[in-house]
Structure formats: C-alpha cells, structure tokens
C-alpha cells in the first residue's frame, strides 16, 4: 500500500479576469462563463517559471509531510509545459529543492491526466521497493499558448500541486487506481509542433502553428465525460464501494459543463463534487493535486473521508484514484 504523507499547492499571484481577456480578444465574460464556468485564472509573473511553480508546491508538500528534501527518494513531475525541452523538469527540481542524487523523471505529453498517472507509477514503485516519492503536477500554460486564439487561450491558467507518497501510513491511503489510454484519439487534442514530425522551425513560426493547440472541443467533451465517469465507477467497483459511499469527488477542472455531466452520470450530489474552475481555469496536470491540497487546507476533506480523484487528458488518457483519509 502507498500513503499520502503531505499535500502542497501553489498559484501565481497575478489574477486575470474574463474582462481582462475581453480587452485583448473578441470574447466576453458572459461567453466564457456560460461555456466553461471560468471567471478568472492565475498567470505566472515574468520571474516565475514551471520550475519555480513546481518548487513552491513541492516545498509545501514536503513540509506538510514533516520531512525535508533529504528524505525524498524519487521525484516525478507531470507537465506538458516543461522548464526546458531537455533535461526534464524533475531533474531541475531535484537541484532546486536540494535533494540527494535520487532518480527523477517527467511524465510529459499526457496533458491533464499526467498527475494521476504519476500517482499510479509512484505507488507501483513503492510496492516494488519502499521509498518516499514526490509527485508534482505543474503547468505554466499561459506562456506557451497562442494569446490571439480566443477559442483556447481563455480556458487555461497556471498552477502547481504536489503530494509526497510513502510506504508508511500517513494522511490518506491510496486504495486503488484505474487508468487507461486510447491512442487513436490523439488528434482531438494536440499541440503537434516541436517534435520530429513537425520540428520547431521558421515555417512553424511563420504559420503560427508552433503554439496553436488543436482541439475538437465537442469530441473532448464527450470522451471526457464517458471516460471520467466510467473510471470513477470502475475504481469504486474494485474497492467494493458505490458513489453513495464517496464523500468527495475531485475531477479534472477542464470545464464546468464536463464536471456537471460527469456528476449527473455518476448520480452524485452537487456538494460531493469539488469545483474551483471559476477561480483558476484549467491548469492542466495541476488541477487535481492543487484542488486536493485546497480541500485539505480548507477542511473540505476530513479524516475518515473517502475521496475519488479523476482526470482525463490529451492522449487520450484517463484515470481515477480512490483515497481513504
Ligand atoms: N469568446 C467568444 N466566442 C468564442 C470564443 C470565445 N472565447 N471561442 C470560440 N468562440 C466562438 C467560435 O468562434 C464560434 O463562432 P462561430 O460559430 O461564429 O464560428 C462559436 O463561439 C462556437 O465555437 P465552438 O468552438 O463550437 O464553441 P463550443 O460551443 O464548442 O465551446 C468549448 C467551446 C467551451 C471549448 C467547448 O467545446 C467545450 O466545452 N469543450 C470541452 C473541452 C474542453 O473544455 N477543453 C479544455 C481543455 S482540454 C482538457 O482539459 C483535457
């Protein structure tokens, strides 16, 4: 079994409202609110980077666990917006935090599902050989997207969330995780430039394709609802529980309408499904760990609670995690 020993989260100070976006592109608070539920998001400052965001959340989680950087045996960072192309953000984070020369790696490219995939990998590593693992979900999306593309730019924000996972009983036990991938759906949500298929070159810059997120919003919507609700049901089946036993579901915060549709499919009451998208927008792989930290911090989650995390992201990847506090 693996256990969460500490939780951490961080968002940049700068708040950007829907009206701020409306001053830059042809959009409105009404359009964004109606379609997504988003009212504002955080935008990293010029002195911030993916690494500093990750560092802030990680430091909080390590402290919350009552540990120091020396106690960390492995680091996993889930991000689609890494600090640099090579090496991985996790290696840079190891140095920033002052950890020992422990193994580190990024889970990149799995979009908003990266953090829950990271939890799955971490618990398998702990089962293989007991160790203390820092798992971070971080995105600085606002620096990489096309600020002229109103159909995607207004959806996103910057944030980081982290947990420390270990073999000894802690604050929450990871009861089970289910996860899956449908690689045939890769084209419905992709940023295709920068790899070997479409290298980052002058042509990519001239066409503006280098930072354009291609998204079939309707396909993403239906896939997300089906995959997240099925994943939650599956993980509950595996631990012999039903939705009625769950105190809180924390879903990936992509869009309020997706969250509502998942809730209805599951038959869960509104107050048992956590929503903070109005405050932070879609922060990719950071939404779930940041929301988890926020719930613990604010007392929204209490000792004894059964909590289910669920996420979906580009790939298409999806997962659900059952946590017993
Ligand atoms: N402001 C005003 N108008 C806009 C904006 C905007 N910000 N963005 C698009 N529009 C316009 C379009 O240009 C289009 O106008 P047209 O009819 O004149 O061509 C019209 O609104 C409808 O555009 P659609 O893209 O069809 O908008 P849709 O109703 O599908 O809503 C949305 C877009 C909210 C993204 C929707 O597809 C959705 O909910 N998708 C779910 C996927 C999602 O949330 N993805 C987020 C990231 S993915 C992830 O987290 C894994």
Going from the Cα of 304 to the center of ligand 1, the distance in angstroms, rounded, reads 40
User: Dihedral of the CA atoms 232, 36, 219, 315 (nearest 10)?
Assistant: -60
d(CA 170, CA 164): 10
Active-site entry in 3, 112, 255, 295 = 112
**Pocket flag, ligand 1, residue 111 (CB < 6 Å):** yes
Average pLDDT over residues 179-201: 90
pLDDT at 48 over 90: yes
d(CA 79, CA 81): 5
- pLDDT, tens digit, 9 for 90 and up, residues 133-183: 999 999 999 999 899 999 999 999 999 999 999 999 999 999 999 999 999
Query: Is the bond preceding residue 62 a cis peptide, omega within 30 degrees?
Result: no
pLDDT at 185 over 90: no
- In sequence order, the 6+-apart residues with CB closer than 8 A to the CB of 192 are 198, 209, 214
d(CA 289, CA 74): 18
**Pocket flag, ligand 1, residue 189 (CB < 6 Å):** yes
pLDDT at 264: 98
pLDDT at 268 over 90: yes
Domains of the chain, earliest start first? 2-170 (3.40.47.10), 175-324 (3.40.47.10)
99 is catalytic: no
**Pocket flag, ligand 1, residue 254 (CB < 6 Å):** yes
Ranges 100-109, 148-157, 182-191, 304-313: which has the least confidence: 182-191
pTM of this prediction exceeds 0.85: yes
- pLDDT, tens digit, 9 for 90 and up, residues 119-137: 999 999 999 999 999 999 9
Going from the Cα of 217 to the center of ligand 1, the distance in angstroms, rounded, reads 6
Phi, psi angles (nearest 5°) of residue 100: -70, 180
**Pocket flag, ligand 1, residue 112 (CB < 6 Å):** yes
Closest protein CA for atom 13 of ligand 1? 151
112 is catalytic: yes
Active-site entry in 211, 252, 255, 317 = 252
- pLDDT, tens digit, 9 for 90 and up, residues 218-241: 999 999 999 999 999 999 999 999
d(CA 52, CA 60): 12
d(CA 1, CA 190): 35
pLDDT at 213 over 90: no
Going from the Cα of 109 to the center of ligand 1, the distance in angstroms, rounded, reads 22
**Pocket flag, ligand 1, residue 152 (CB < 6 Å):** no
pLDDT at 214 over 90: no
């Amino acid at each position: 079994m693996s256990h969460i020993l500490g939780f951490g989260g961080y968002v940049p100070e700068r708040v950007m409202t829907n009206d701020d976006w409306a001053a830059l592109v042809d959009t409105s608070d009404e359009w964004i609110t109606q379609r997504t539920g988003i009212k504002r998001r955080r935008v990293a400052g010029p002195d911030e980077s993916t690494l500093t965001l990750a560092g802030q959340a990680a430091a909080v989680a390590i402290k919350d666990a009552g540990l120091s950087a020396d106690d960390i045996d492995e680091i996993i960072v889930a991000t689609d917006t890494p600090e640099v192309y090579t090496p991985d953000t996790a290696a840079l984070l190891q140095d920033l935090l002052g950890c020992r020369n422990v193994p580190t790696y990024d889970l990149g490219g799995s979009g908003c599902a990266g953090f829950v995939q990271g939890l799955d990998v971490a618990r398998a590593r702990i089962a293989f050989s007991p160790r203390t693992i820092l798992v971070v979900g971080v995105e600085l999306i606002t620096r990489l997207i096309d600020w002229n593309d109103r159909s995607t730019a207004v959806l996103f924000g910057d944030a980081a969330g982290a947990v420390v996972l270990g073999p000894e009983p802690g604050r929450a036990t990871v009861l089970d995780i289910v996860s899956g991938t449908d690689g045939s759906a890769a084209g419905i949500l992709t940023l295709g430039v920068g790899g070997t298929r479409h290298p980052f070159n002058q042509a990519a810059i001239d066409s503006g394709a280098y930072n354009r997120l291609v998204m079939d919003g309707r396909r993403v919507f239906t896939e997300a609802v089906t995959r997240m609700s099925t994943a939650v049901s599956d993980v509950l089946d595996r631990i012999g529980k039903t939705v009625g036993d769950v105190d809180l579901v924390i879903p990936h915060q992509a869009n309020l309408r997706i969250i509502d549709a998942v809730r209805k499919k599951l038959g869960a009451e509104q107050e048992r499904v956590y929503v903070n998208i109005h405050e932070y927008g879609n922060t990719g792989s950071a939404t779930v760990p940041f929301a988890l930290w926020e719930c613990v911090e604010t007392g929204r989650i209490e000792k004894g609670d059964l909590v289910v995390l669920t996420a979906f992201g580009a790939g298409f990847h999806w997962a659900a995690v059952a946590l017993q506090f």
